[in-house]
Amino acid sequence: MTAYAMVSLADSVLVVMDIQTRLTAAMPMKVLARLQRNTGLLLRGAKTLGVPVFASEQYPEGLGELEPDVVKLLPEGSRRYQKTCFSLAGVEKFMADLAASGKRQVVLCGMEAHICVLQTTLDLVRAGYETFLVSDGVCSRQRESYEIALARLRDGGTIITDAEAVLYEWVGDARHPQFKSVLSLVR
């Protein structure tokens, strides 16, 4: 994968990682608001465009369930996985479902950037997937941890992008039948 790769509507999935009640409670308010806004944008766009969505929960007994606002936005047919391993790629069912989707690109958002998101993304790169990290759709409790994670992932072959860029790459053209619907999401 190269730095000029773009997300393909036909070949991508969206992975929403660990946006859980006890984790969100620990996030700075401004950081959390940005994460919620951009994750919501991605989920609405995925639903509008038919992009498959996978969602994870890290040890929900300790970190709480997925945020209700995220659950409400999951498109019908989304797959959810509970895990204790930090990398979602360590969940056999997820990897089997991802392979069965036939998609080779993975767009990732969620928390925390320097732990579960980072480990999952690096494992997916090693497994041969093109990975796109949505920088305004991930967060960590500490800014330094977030910045280090993005640098490591960029160095590891992940494309760093943002939510709006993903949506526009998914539609690709103002003549796309769903362009106006997607445009209404970003305005």
CATH of the domain at 52: 3.40.50.850
Residue 12 has pLDDT above 60, yes or no: yes
Residue 1 has pLDDT above 70, yes or no: no
Condensed to tens digits (0 to 9), the pLDDT of residues 20-33 reads: 999 999 999 999 99
Q: Taking a C-beta distance cutoff of 8 angstroms, is the pair 26, 141 a contact?
A: yes
Tell me whether residue 2 is in a domain: no
Which SS3 state, helix, strand or coil, does residue 52 take? coil
- Strands of the sheet with 53-58, listed across from one edge: 79-83, 53-58, 12-17, 105-111, 130-139, 159-161
Q: Name the pTM for this structure.
A: 0.97
Contacts of 47 (CB under 8 A, 6+ apart): 53, 73, 75
Tell me whether residue 41 is in a domain: yes
Condensed to tens digits (0 to 9), the pLDDT of residues 53-107 reads: 999 999 999 999 999 999 999 999 999 999 999 999 999 999 999 999 999 999 9
- Looking at residue 50, what is its pLDDT? 97
Cα Rg of the chain (Å, integer):
15
Residue 173 has pLDDT above 60, yes or no: yes
Tell me whether residue 59 is in a domain: yes
Tell me whether residue 118 is in a domain: yes
Condensed to tens digits (0 to 9), the pLDDT of residues 121-150 reads: 999 999 999 999 999 999 999 999 999 999
Residue 48 has pLDDT above 60, yes or no: yes
Tell me whether residue 151 is in a domain: yes
- Looking at residue 32, what is its pLDDT? 96
Tell me whether residue 53 is in a domain: yes
Tell me whether residue 1 is in a domain: no
Please count the structural domains in the chain. Answer: 1
Tell me whether residue 3 is in a domain: no
Domain that holds residue 141: 9-186
Contacts of 25 (CB under 8 A, 6+ apart): none
